[in-house]
Amino acid sequence: MIDYVNSSAITSALSISHKDMLKRARREGWPCVKQKGTLFFNKYRLPKAVKLALSKNETHEAANKNDEGGLSQLTDKAREAAQHRSALIYEYQQSGLKPSDFCDAYNARQMGEYLYSVLGRVSARTLYRWLREHKEAGAVGTQALAALAPRYGVKKSGAGYTLSPIEKTLLRRYWLKNTRPAMAHAWQLMLEAYPHSLCTYQTAARFLGSIPPAERDYFRLGKKSFEDLYLPYVEQNINRYKSLDLVVSDHHVLDCVVLYRGKLIRPWITTFQDYRSGKIVGFFPTVKPSSLSIIAAYYMCCLRYGVPRAALFDNGKDYRSKLLNGYKTTAKQFTPDGIAEDVEVFFQGVLPALGTEVRFTKTYSAKSKGRQERYYRLLGEYLSKDIGSYVGSDTTTKPDDAVLMWRSIDGMAKREDIPTWDYFVRAASAMIEYINDTFASQGKGMDGKTRSRVFDENLPEAIRHVPKEELQQALYRSEVHKCGRNGIKHHGVSYYHPALVRYAGQDVVIRNKIITDNEMPVYAIDGSFICNAIGDYFAEGENLTQAIKRVESVRKHTLLSLAERGTNEVAIAAEQRIMIDTALRAYDDSLPSLESLLGEPEESAALPMAAGAETVSAKKNKYVSVLDARPEQILHMEVSK
């Protein structure tokens, strides 16, 4: 059976004029018949978009027809008020009085006393309005009841009420993405994927704007931002801590460049900060952060102030290293009968060996180390920006002349006034002490005091100090090595002692200093001491041995010199800007020299050159940190000088 639909239904569904509908029907050839002056179109042979619009229109009409006269769009409170007003009209119709006389009697509580308790006073003007609305609605059924409801009680349809589930799904799919597309972009993609949609941009924008912020930010901003904005975190009570109860450590790269061995680098600094006061109690400037820079900063803290009870780290690989936390391994041990068996050996880390409990927080979680992040902002403001080679934290803060640090451009000469590594070490050390001692803090539990003052006021009496010798003993790296016929080979150096003869071919435990010595203690798997093996025991010539001793004597002071500095004050001439100058004048004498940090002098900077006249530097060897360089590499460095 053919189903026909009249032209008025199509114009209503498409929301266009009758004239535009006829033009489209002629253009697309819609089959139709004419009866009594009205056009009827074959519903099943209309275009898909027209049939979809008719289907949606019929659905809305059916929903309105089944809406019980609009009562489902009312709130419970409005529906109850409409029922009370209908009861009052019924009382008026039964009274036979004029509206004004009925209102006087009603307000005098001569009739409808219960209705008065819920509706209150009703004027004749209000009653006339209710009677008119009741009559216009048909004065019968639910439609009349809905007409008496207060206007404020009608429920709003809400954003996206006219959208189909497919349209809503597509809009959400194209907008809730980590690329953060615009609403107009998502709307256009939805129209391409669903060409029969009649959704306008305004409707799509209202629907997308109604998505809850938490759901929106989870998909558009990412998991980390969602956690920072919406998920709860542990609020630690800073006042319950004493100084050195908890220290926080992290690496930080500064937004400036310095000249290091003829190359421009962005320097790093590893810090240990007291959680209670926010004071930096240990730090170490470095070219490349590692577990060794962590140990150097920790060594400074222990030597100057005492051993902290606990340390809070994130889950970075440097802080998860075996050197800091210890590790287990297996080794072969021979029984008295000569049978080899595997045994488990545990090597204690540096921090647990000195009694510091290690705690880990979530990776890259700024809330867990908020005071340290704020301290880094101070270093960026007063150190990076004032040192003379600030490069900005991003493209928006990058100075215009930053490119001149690397090359000449637009007729301007390349800058040759870049601070050296030596100057940066002095400036960083001075600025850290200057911030500790002079910057007042308004943070929790600080009361406007300086970090050093709060640290001293909350320092408990029972601070555990360890002797310098015991502290240095913790700076050992224990490993399992197999003893050969020429002793134990470690980092290219053979260590030997006559007592190792009977351990040839067996696993032994070596304990080599991070600050390498020419001697290395050797232990059996059961922990018994064997001997102190001598490095390069079989090497020819005395010059090589003297060279190794000379290099190792310098390396011994690499970690120690920065921590073991004095506190004398002396003024020096100003070289940079106000903050660094002030800090340097106050703390210069307490700073480490370049020789004590690196074991070698800094290369002198080249003379300025005219624009475009700088020469291309020759390719240099890969940088090897003095802290973890092997002895033969150190020798190569010395020879190359």
Q: Which residues of the chain have pLDDT under 50?
A: 65-69, 540-541, 547, 550-563, 565-576, 591-641
pLDDT of residue 511: 72
Tell how far CA 112 is from the center of its chain: 67
> How far is the C-alpha of 148 from the C-alpha of 134, rounded, in Å?
7
Could you tell me the sign of the dihedral formed by the alpha carbons of 309, 314, 320, 323, in that order? negative
**DSSP of 574-597:** --S-HHHHHHHHHHGGGSPPHHHH
pLDDT of residue 588: 60
Contact criterion met (CB below 8 Å) for 230 and 214: yes
> How far is the C-alpha of 284 from the C-alpha of 615, rounded, in Å?
34
pLDDT of residue 557: 44
| From the candidate CATH numbers 2.60.40, 1.20.1300, 1.10.10, 3.90.25, the one assigned to the domain spanning 165-230 | 1.10.10
> How far is the C-alpha of 217 from the C-alpha of 352, rounded, in Å?
41
- The one-letter amino acid code at 140 reads V
| From the candidate CATH numbers 2.30.30, 1.10.287, 2.60.40, 2.10.240, the one assigned to the domain spanning 477-562 | 2.30.30
| Domain parsing of the chain, residue ranges | 4-66, 69-153, 165-230, 477-562
Q: Is 201 strand, coil or helix?
A: helix
> How far is the C-alpha of 435 from the C-alpha of 359, rounded, in Å?
27
DSSP-derived secondary structure letter, 160: T
Looking from the CA of 332 toward its CB, the CA atoms found within 13 Å total: 12
pLDDT of residue 621: 40
